[in-house]
Chain A
Amino acid sequence: MLNKWINKKYLQPEQFKQEFLNNKPYPHLEFKNFLKEEKAMEVLKSLAQEKFIEKEADLFKFMQTNDLGSTKNRVVKEFVQFLYSKEFIDYMQKLTGFKFQNKVDVAGTLYQNTDYLLCHDDELEGRKIAFLFYFSDFEENEGGSLNLFDSKKGKPVKVVKKIVPKFNKLAFFEVSPISFHEVEEVIADKQRIAIGGWFYDK
């Protein structure tokens, strides 16, 4: 299963564990070209057929699919089954050193010009790792980056790390009371497409 989806250079998760744990401002990692190119392309094409619903509140404005666990699309379903698989959950456990439940939340997100998600910590009962598979290429000056904040006395202070969306990049971070992050406003006329979700603490 892992061989079918993941690029060869990432097949030994243990070798990335220390980097993940040591990264500042809190444990996180980004892998460029994580999926096999043809698989990433297939998922992107199929994701475009999913229905995205507008979400808007004080904290955010973007579009999102329903949980992809119930998708009817064959390719998206295969990808979600891969994320749900014992092999991939075990892979993420080795990579992070955490233990996860079999439950994984997965949804597609679409940010367009003026869309944003302001700073928050993602904390919700049991969430342990937040992850994002990017399917769009952005430059830093086009917005849409995942910004990580450092913190002081449990409050976010300033952005110290920017993860710029690139096609076929996987980014993930530990969810904790200080995992403050935002999605910077998209300021270009292009679409930022991703599949993201959470792994849950066992």
Chain B
Amino acid sequence: MINKIYLEKIEEIKKSLNSNPDFPSTQLNNFLVDYSDFKKKVEQLRYKKDVDVLHHKLSKAEINIPELKEWLSKILGKKITHTNFTAHLLEWRDYLIMNDDYEEKPGIDVIFDLTKDWNSKGGGQIIYVDGTGEYYAIPISENSLTIVERKKGVQKFFKYLNNLAKNNKRFFLVLNIF
């Protein structure tokens, strides 16, 4: 399932993850080899609209990917016991903004992106901010896996999808590890 290159290059990935001290992160493109089947599975999940006006408006579903347990344990250097990702479906007028009631504790986000040929002017980026004005926007790239370490004070938001994203759907999965 995982591209062979990423099964073999564990140490390089760990090194890459720690190369940016402010926002430790790495993005691995062409991550899955059987991507088309997996994409179909994700798109066919039963998404449920979830709205808290002051924080988010988007659709969610759950998907377990146990095949990632061993690999993630090696990359992160700790035993990963669950791989229940939250699948996100974002459409026009969806968003997730920062809100003290939803403050995230430091941890690791594992993000798998399934969005093809996205117009970046349409919004929908996952953006991390550290409260000092510094930010890190994850490039939207289909079949990519991104690992981000969230240090203390780092929060994320999903940029509002404007009318340039009309008729398009943005899919990605997020796993939070604390």
Residues in A lying within 8 Å of B, measured CB to CB: 58-59, 61, 113-114, 116, 118-120, 149, 155-157, 180, 185, 187
Which of B159, B160, B163 meets A187, CB within 8 Å?
A: B163
B33 contacts chain A at the CB level, 8 A cutoff: no
Which of B53, B93, B95 meets A155, CB within 8 Å?
A: B53
Which of A58, A114, A119, A180 meets B162, CB within 8 Å?
A: A114
B97 contacts chain A at the CB level, 8 A cutoff: yes
Query: What are 30 A-B pairs with beta-carbon distances under 8 A?
Result: A58-B97, A58-B98, A58-B127, A58-B129, A58-B157, A58-B159, A59-B97, A61-B160, A114-B123, A114-B162, A114-B163, A114-B164, A116-B160, A116-B162, A118-B95, A118-B97, A118-B160, A119-B53, A119-B54, A149-B53, A155-B52, A155-B53, A155-B54, A156-B53, A156-B54, A180-B54, A185-B93, A185-B162, A185-B163, A187-B163
Which B residues, 142 to 173, have Cβ-Cβ distances below 8 Å to chain A? 157, 159-160, 162-164
Q: Which residue of A lies closest to B163 (CB)?
A: A187
Q: Which residue of B lies closest to A156 (CB)?
A: B53
Pair A114/B93 contact, Cβ less than 8 Å: no
Residues in B lying within 8 Å of A, measured CB to CB: 52-54, 93, 95, 97-98, 121, 123, 127, 129, 157, 159-160, 162-164
Given contacts A59-B97, A187-B163, contact A114 B53 (CB under 8 A): no
The residues of A that contact B123 with a CB separation of less than 8 Å are 114
The residues of A that contact B127 with a CB separation of less than 8 Å are 58
Which of B54, B95, B121, B129 meets A114, CB within 8 Å?
A: B121
Which of A61, A180, A187 meets B53, CB within 8 Å?
A: A180
What's the Cα separation between A78 and B127 when bound, in Å? 42
- Is chain A's interface secondary structure helix, strand, loop, or mixed overall? strand
What's the Cα separation between A173 and B33 when bound, in Å? 56
Q: Which residue of A lies closest to B165 (CB)?
A: A114
The residues of B that contact A180 with a CB separation of less than 8 Å are 53-54
The residues of B that contact A58 with a CB separation of less than 8 Å are 95, 97-98, 127, 129, 157, 159
Q: Which 3 A-B pairs have the closest CB atoms?
A: A58-B157, A114-B162, A58-B97
What's the Cα separation between A118 and B127 when bound, in Å? 17
Q: How far is the CB of A162 from chain B (nearest CB, A)?
A: 15
Q: Which residue of B lies closest to A143 (CB)?
A: B163
What's the Cα separation between A113 and B53 when bound, in Å? 22
Q: Which residue of B lies closest to A185 (CB)?
A: B162
Q: Which residue of B lies closest to A59 (CB)?
A: B97
Q: What 5 additional pairs, Cβ within 8 angstroms, besides A120-B54, A156-B54?
A: A114-B123, A114-B162, A114-B163, A180-B53, A187-B163
What's the Cα separation between A113 and B121 when bound, in Å? 11
Q: How far is the CB of B105 from chain A (nearest CB, A)?
A: 19
What's the Cα separation between A116 and B53 when bound, in Å? 14
Q: Which of B52, B53, B127, B164 has the most CB of A within 10 A?
A: B53
The residues of A that contact B163 with a CB separation of less than 8 Å are 113-114, 185, 187
Q: How far is the CB of B137 from chain A (nearest CB, A)?
A: 12
The residues of A that contact B162 with a CB separation of less than 8 Å are 114, 116, 185
What's the Cα separation between A67 and B60 when bound, in Å? 41
What's the Cα separation between A187 and B97 when bound, in Å? 21
The residues of A that contact B160 with a CB separation of less than 8 Å are 61, 116, 118, 185
Q: Which residue of A lies closest to B159 (CB)?
A: A58
What's the Cα separation between A114 and B164 when bound, in Å? 7
Q: Which residue of B lies closest to A157 (CB)?
A: B53
Q: Which residue of A lies closest to B95 (CB)?
A: A118
